[in-house]
Amino acid sequence: MKSPIVMIVGAAALSLFCLHGQAQTLDKIRETGAITLGYRDAAGPFSYLDDKQQPIGYSMDICLKIADAVKTALKLPQLKINLNPVGPSTRIPLIANGTIDLECGVSTNNAERQKLVAFTPTTFVTGTRLVYLKTLKVDSMADLKGKTIVSPSGSSNSKVVNEYNTQHQAGINILGATDLPEAFLMMQTGRAVAMATDDVLIYNMIANSKSPSDYAVSKFALSVEPYGIMLPKGDPGFKKIADDTVVMLAKSGELDKLYAKWFTSPIAPKGANLMMPMSANLKKALSSPTDSPDPKDYE
């Protein structure tokens, strides 16, 4: 375990790097002729691999729109798009060190992360819920006392459930998982009785499972979480292009069409349909675009 001093110094160094080290993203893109998008391989319908092992999804579509805007702004008609896989624990460092320019996944915009990275205006609003086999009764978190749940390590959901466990002395054993598929498998095989993650990701995993009717989702939510496309901190020129693109998509109705494509229509690779109409929280966010990390701004 790292000492508190090392951890504090490391965090401070990363924060300083984010503020000053990536202020020239557009210059880098101009010089290299390429923009690098970070994608998730199993976070559908936002960012996941199709049957040709190519990343697709709602967040990927938004990132490609931003890339088009960068192409136009820099007058680079042959702009190359590089793709780089990321995970819950690697996405922020890879933005901070310049490996990727945009993170096109399922990243919650919160005050803690805004110290290290920036976000576009909100593109989705979700919340932390639990998924479990229907044989388990979960009316409240109290029903999980003495039991084990799992959440992807490095996710905001993991932070939420751990904070709840500590603050309420709930007596829940919380395990970490490398990613969503591993967490879901741990729940399916009994290593944990429930998995905690964003509700939309839960519905996607259920819809694509072999037996969707086997699972239940908690009626209660532990958090309200706004998603945005993550990008380097302290880079106003690059952020303006990204922000303006998201605002344009929201105001023109194009984002509504992208939402319908991924959340209320059959999607690859199995033709599953989440049948998830746009929430009032997201409609509010799109009507007045904001990159606020405060959950209260989305309620």
Mean pLDDT, residues 89-111:
96
93, 14 contact by CB (below 8 A): yes
| Per-position DSSP letters for the chain, written without gaps between them | ---HHHHHHHHHHHHHHHHHTTTTHHHHHHHHTEEEEEE-SEETTTEEE-TTS-EESHHHHHHHHHHHHHHHHHT-TT-EEEEEE--TTTHHHHHHTTS-SEEES--B--TTGGGTEEEPSP-EEE-EEEEEETTS--SSGGGGTT-EEEEETTSHHHHHHHHHHHHTT---EEEEESSHHHHHHHHHTTSSSEEEEEHHHHHHHHHTSS-GGGEEE-SS-S--EEE--EEETT-HHHHHHHHHHHHHHHHHTHHHHHHHHHHSS-BTTTTB----PPPHHHHHHHHS------GGGG-
Whether the pLDDT of residue 261 is over 50: the answer is: yes
Whether the pLDDT of residue 94 is over 70: the answer is: yes
- pLDDT value of position 23: 52
Q: How do residues 132-175 score in pLDDT, each as one tens digit?
A: 999 999 999 999 999 999 999 999 999 999 999 999 999 999 99
- pLDDT value of position 68: 98
| Per-position DSSP letters for 99-159, written without gaps between them | S-SEEES--B--TTGGGTEEEPSP-EEE-EEEEEETTS--SSGGGGTT-EEEEETTSHHHH
Query: What phi and psi, each to the nearest 5 degrees, are found at residue 204?
Result: -65, -45
Q: How do residues 34-71 score in pLDDT, each as one tens digit?
A: 999 999 999 999 999 999 999 999 999 999 999 999 99
Q: How do residues 162-211 score in pLDDT, each as one tens digit?
A: 999 999 999 999 999 999 999 999 999 999 999 999 999 999 999 889 99
Query: Which strand ranges, in their side-by-side order, compose the sheet holding 80-85?
Result: 80-85, 34-39, 102-104, 230-232, 117-119
Q: Helix 58-74 and helix 25-32: axis angle, to 10°?
A: 80
The full set of domains in the chain, from first to last, is 4-125+226-298 (3.40.190.10), 128-223 (3.40.190.10)
